[in-house]
């Protein structure tokens, strides 16, 4: 499954050093364990909100998968890093996701009608969106 994942610098998440190849773990439970990623690219910002110090990647989540109803987060037993994204690319993937899935929940970084930029970026939806 194509998904998105945020990391600390060095491609680290909660002390686990990810590698470019396949990463494997024993169990996947969204609330407790597994490799977490998100179907919606912008959900990564919920967990890695410091966009200047975080790394964002397109990943392939496979093996056993588990989802929760909180957002588009999934947990998997296998995770392969496909490509590291710039912050601009992450937002472009997020905008494409919103176009492809217009009725899905927006996520916490998307604002209605107006927003102030955080780290140089703002995501705003509405009839006449305003970003500053």
Closest C-alpha among 3, 73, 82 to residue 43: 73
Please give the pLDDT value at position 118: 76
Dump pLDDT digits (tens) for 32-67.
899 999 999 999 998 998 988 999 999 999 999 999
Rounded Cα distance between 93 and 113, Å, is 20
Is the pLDDT confidence value at 1 over 80? yes
Dump pLDDT digits (tens) for 63-91.
999 998 888 999 999 999 999 999 999 99
**For residue 61, how many other CB atoms are within 10 A of its CB?**
24
């Amino acid at each position: 499954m194509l998904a998105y994942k945020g990391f600390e610098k060095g491609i680290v998440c909660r002390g686990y050093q990810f590698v470019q190849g396949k990463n494997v773990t024993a169990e996947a439970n969204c609330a407790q364990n597994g490799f977490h990623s998100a179907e919606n690219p912008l959900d990564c910002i919920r967990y890695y909100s410091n966009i200047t110090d975080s790394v964002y990647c397109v990943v392939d989540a496979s093996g056993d998968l588990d989802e929760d109803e909180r957002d588009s987060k999934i947990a998997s037993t296998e995770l392969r890093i496909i490509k590291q994204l710039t912050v601009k690319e992450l937002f472009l993937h997020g905008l494409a996701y919103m176009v492809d899935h217009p009725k899905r929940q927006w996520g916490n970084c998307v604002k209605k009608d107006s927003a102030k930029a955080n780290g140089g970026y703002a995501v705003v939806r509405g009839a006449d969106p305003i970003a500053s």
